[in-house]
Amino acid sequence: MEGKVNQRILTRINNRRLSIIVFSLFSSWMLAFPFEGRILYELMSFHNISSNSFIFSTMVAHFLGLLLSWTFVKTMRAAKKFILFSVAFCIIASCIFFFEPSFLWRAALLVAAFLIGCCVAAWSFFLKGFTPKNDRIKTIADGLIGSNILMILLNMSAIHVSPYAGLGFSIVALGMAFLFGLKLPTEENSDSPLISQLKEVHVDKYGSLIFLCLFIVIITINSGLMYHVQGPAFAHLEWLTSWYWAIPYIIALFIMRNLPRKTNRSYILYVAIAMIGFSFIAFMALDRSWMSYLIVNTLMLGASGVFDLFWWSILGEALEFDKNPAKIMGIGLSSNVLGVMLGGVIGSVINRQSLDATLLALGVVCITLIMLPPLHKRLTALLIDHVYLTAISEIPPQEQIQMDSYITLEDKLTERESEITTLLLKGKTYRMIAEELHVSQNTVKTHIKNIYSKAEVQSRSELMNLLLDKELSSKEPANT
């Protein structure tokens, strides 16, 4: 039994990391190329082609891919096959852009944008299968951080070297995604330990998710305005914008990912809404210098990081609502794309006037402020312990005890402590662990002391019993 549990723990951790790598690689291509990507903009500019129609039609195709993916991706095996096929097609489609512009450019881009949207939704099978529900916010944050770091590198190569250099490196990213994708499993780890439960209450689950989607559409209108109003206004700061653009977004994701669990993140949502409003006020009031750009972009992208992780993580935990997780994730994220498209259209209509854009953005901020309290109430009725919704300290003591039993040990341990725990559960002695990790036995003893303290046990056998008890409890049906 001990060996079986050890193997399951190792498999779950490895598959989780593998899924993050695959997501980061193909998403970096998506962000740098078809999804308002700088590689595409640079290619269009290089050939003196208007990018407006290309960008909008590509966004529509991406939206449809997210929205419709669940109709033909219904199992993890199908999700893996579809991701591999889509990534392979995107490699071929990208290669077409090394040739002179032709109708093939648009055709290849539209199909690739559709398929990559399907890939994002299909990835939810691996998110659901190999990340315990309480930990999905971290897996999602890691994927978004990784993809945005890679996107920055791809953008910089396209801007400062050549569009074709960026295109070439993006193809390399896709090639690596394909190779790692070959290792993705095809069976869900359905008996993963330490997975928490949804509240068994009589609430309108899909009604609440529809309300969330409406909220996403409205608030991401400001993201569309950012692309088409704020961004072009600072285009002359090419060196700065090429690398700093996503930095506040990454920092916000990192901070939200690593906040102590007892932190009430719901208040941070209101701060993020205020940041969006102040970003557009600063855009209207300030000049177009590099200092102004730092202020405007930091406020806007920092808020975007907070909210993106909010709805991504809500959707991640709501994957339990449907047998096909691609339906929940695809429809939810298509709302994001729809909001960006609407913001882009509105931004084009108002012709980049800072006053008009600011008034519209502030109107959106007011609407989202009105929507957030009832949205919070609805979502809290569905999810017992989502970190964005309710601080643990505000939950009655009896429910806190129940929640604590579902918090994963992995969430409490450092990376080194997780490695030592795995070796410890495999029956390795202190000396064997020290030799394998190239550390002293005293260091190993210190780490194990910390592990026992965090797990609130006194010995290896108690640690094993703890994991077995929690695994068995996770298999018991929830009380109604």
Amino acid identity at 267:
Y
- Select from 95, 119, 103, 99 the least CA-distant residue to 35: 119
d(CA 280, CA 360): 9
| Chain segment 413-438, per-residue pLDDT in tens | 787 887 888 777 667 788 888 888 88
d(CA 155, CA 167): 9
Top CATH class of 413-475 equals: mainly alpha
- Select from 271, 270, 251 the least CA-distant residue to 145: 251
For residue 409, what pLDDT is reported? 60
Top CATH class of 17-189 equals: mainly alpha
Q: Note down pLDDT in tens along the chain; length 480 residues.
A: 444 444 454 455 588 899 999 999 999 999 999 888 899 999 998 998 887 778 889 999 999 999 999 999 999 999 999 999 999 999 999 999 999 999 999 999 999 999 999 999 999 999 998 887 778 899 999 999 999 999 999 999 999 999 999 999 999 999 999 999 999 988 654 433 333 334 444 456 778 889 999 999 999 998 888 887 888 889 899 899 989 999 999 999 999 999 887 777 778 999 999 999 999 899 989 999 999 999 999 999 999 999 999 999 999 988 888 889 999 999 999 999 999 999 888 877 776 556 677 788 888 889 998 998 888 888 877 776 677 775 444 445 444 444 444 445 656 778 788 788 877 766 778 888 888 888 888 898 888 888 888 877 777 767 766 655 554 444 444 443
Residues 6 or more apart whose CB falls under 8 angstroms from that of 80 comprise 181, 184, 185, 186
For residue 64, what pLDDT is reported? 96
Q: What is the pTM of this model?
A: 0.77
For residue 167, what pLDDT is reported? 96
**In Å, how far are 17, 122, 231, 332 from 273, measured between CA atoms?**
32, 30, 19, 20
End-to-end CA distance of the chain: 30
For residue 254, what pLDDT is reported? 96
Q: What ranges do the domains of the chain cover? A: 17-189, 196-405, 413-475
Which strand (E) or helix (H) includes residue 179?
A: helix 163-181
Match 């700088």 to its residue by tokens.
Answer: 38
CATH 2.60.40 for domain 196-405, yes or no, is no
The answer to whether 17-189 and 413-475 have equal CATH topology is: no
User: What is the CB neighbour count within 10 angstroms for residue 353?
Assistant: 13
Q: How would DSSP label each residue in 450-476?
A: HHHHHHT-SSHHHHHHHHHHHHHHHHS
b vs e for 445-465, b when ≥16 Cβ sit within 10 Å of the residue's Cβ? eebbebbbeebebeebeebbe
Contact 277/105 with Cβ under 8 angstroms? no
**Alpha carbon 275 to chain centroid distance?**
21
For residue 464, what pLDDT is reported? 66
